[in-house]
Amino acid sequence: PILEVKLTEAMTEPLPEEEGFLSPASLPPLLEALKGKTALAIGPGMGTKEGVKEMLSRLLRDISLPTVIDADGINLLASAKGVLQEIKAPSVLTPHPGEMARLIGVETAQIQAKRIETAREVAERYNCVVVLKGSRTVIASPSGEVFINPTGNPGMASGGTGDVLTGMIGALLAQGMEPLEAAKLAVYLHGLSGDLAAEEVGEVALVATDLLRCLPKAIKELQGWRPPS
């Protein structure tokens, strides 16, 4: 009900719950709801209860939809790493440094000291695209390619901005874009939206909804870009 009021454009699908969280009982209707769909974005706001972990583990083993996993989805997989190796779907992981540290069992400082190497290693190990968020977000492919994003600013280090990115990647996957290309384009546009928003409200006051508001402008700006002659 909250989302239906907040996001009038979005369609919602009620699922069985236990104490306000998804559970194994949520899986059959969720799988039914996913029939005919072209992508899945999962993780933000899920919580980390044991029932949620069981549901997520079974879901990721069952589906073949292109999938982007973020936030609590990554935190849950940190204690169920075997699931990552069993995922059949083309997948994108979008951890911030803390989530990446939990996923591979090291300190956050070690992630920050070797951002490129870490992103590449995890992408190759789990055969997925990795988006290691932060200043100059790193995007790594399973084949070892690495890309550094030039857009974005410190004001984007606030709650909800990563969830916006998850939705953007999911939207591009749903349109049939390959995971690596979807990740690169979404990360660039996400940062550009943040830069445009910072020009309007400043970095200190910037919040996630400012990115949503500036996203159409960022898309239009990118569509009009031409390489220097």
pLDDT digits (tens, 9 = 90+) for 33-92: 999 999 999 999 999 999 999 999 999 999 999 999 999 999 999 998 799 999 999 999
pLDDT per residue, tens digit, the chain (229 aa), is 677 787 888 888 999 999 999 999 999 999 999 999 999 999 999 999 999 999 999 999 999 999 999 999 999 999 987 999 999 999 999 999 999 999 999 999 999 999 999 999 999 999 999 999 999 999 999 999 999 999 999 999 999 999 999 999 999 999 999 999 999 999 999 999 999 999 999 999 999 999 999 999 999 999 987 777 6
pTM above 0.85, yes or no: yes
Helices (H), 70-178: 72-78, 81-86, 97-104, 108-113, 115-126, 161-174
CB 66 within 8 A of CB 90: yes
Distant-in-sequence, close-in-space partners of 183: CB < 8 Å, separation ≥ 6: 92, 94, 129, 131, 139, 169
Domain locations along the chain: 2-223
Residue 131's beta-bridge partner residues? 139
Q: Interhelix angle for 179-201 vs 208-223, to 10°? A: 110
CA distance 84 to 89: 10
Distant-in-sequence, close-in-space partners of 93: CB < 8 Å, separation ≥ 6: 68, 69, 70, 74, 103, 122, 126, 128, 129, 130, 131
CA distance 172 to 178: 8
- Among residues 29, 81, 77, which one has the least CA distance to residue 56? 77
CATH architecture for segment(s) 2-223: 3-Layer(aba) Sandwich (3.40)
Q: Which amino acid is at 113?
A: A
Residue 147's beta-bridge partner residues? 139
The neighbour count for residue 146, using CB atoms within 10 Å, is 16
